[in-house]
Amino acid sequence: MTKNGQIHRHSLVVRLCHWLIALSGLLLTFSGIGFMPLYGRFYLNELPGLHWVTHFQTQMNLHYLAAGPFIAACLFHLLYHWRRGEFALVPQRGDLKESWLIIKAMLMKGQEPAHEKFLAEQRIAYATFALTIGVLSASGYFLAVKNTLGWHVAPQVLQVIILMHLVFTFLFLLQIALHLGAFILKANRPLFASMFNGRVTLSYAAKRHSRWVKRNRIR
């Protein structure tokens, strides 16, 4: 688990799954926003190679194309960790309080509480991402089947589902922004690098994730 003063944090499978969800999710968001006339209004279609962004059918095809790997990767993620009994990202009792203590320590330059493999706010963020992705997948699947099979749906119900899908799309974007913004903080930057190389230094883990290190008896 340790090599050259570094600890293995994320396997290749976990990293590939993470980036497949991230990239296909961004493609879904980009194509979803393309259903609205925003790109033409801001002349994005006049940029070299982007004339297609205002073509509704092209964006629809791209949206469906991205939805496949996105949902498949999400389901694989759940099944993979469930089969392996890995639930470190599942929220725990006291996470809200611990998150406040972490933020307070960062602002006041105090001592953070000892962490497990994942920070309390990471577990909370994971739960909110799961909720958002669940709502987007369910509402998106309903709309896709409705459009494909020509289901008749009451206009009021359809408006609610479309609005829900739109609202949670922007929530998804906000969550991504907050997720990436967390790495502006110096203490979090090694975690960003670990999503590429899968490792963090032993000294960093011992200082910030001491409970994880002790529980696994990492030396």
- Nearest residue to 115 (alpha-carbon basis) of 207, 14, 9, 10: 207
- In the chain, the number of structural domains is 1
Phi, psi of 2 (to 5 degrees): -115, 145
H or E stretch at 6: strand 6-8
Is the pTM for the entire model greater than 0.85? yes
Examine the pLDDT at 219 and tell me if it is beyond 60: no
Region of 109 (left: φ > 0; alpha: ψ -120 to 50; beta: rest) is: left
- Assign 2 a pLDDT band (cuts: 50, 70, 90): low
pLDDT score, position 218:
55
pLDDT score, position 69:
96
User: Which residue intervals of 44-154 are DSSP H helices?
Assistant: 56-84, 95-108, 120-149
Amino acid sitting at position 27? L
* CATH at residue 47: 1.20.950.20
H or E stretch at 214: helix 210-215
User: Which domain covers residue 180, as residue numbers?
Assistant: 2-215
Examine the pLDDT at 12 and tell me if it is beyond 70: yes
pLDDT tens-digit profile of 50-94? 999 999 999 999 999 999 999 999 999 999 999 999 999 999 898
- Answer for the pair 67, 140: CB distance below 8 angstroms, yes or no: yes
Region of 47 (left: φ > 0; alpha: ψ -120 to 50; beta: rest) is: beta
If you compute the radius of gyration of the chain from its CA atoms, what whole number of angstroms results? 21
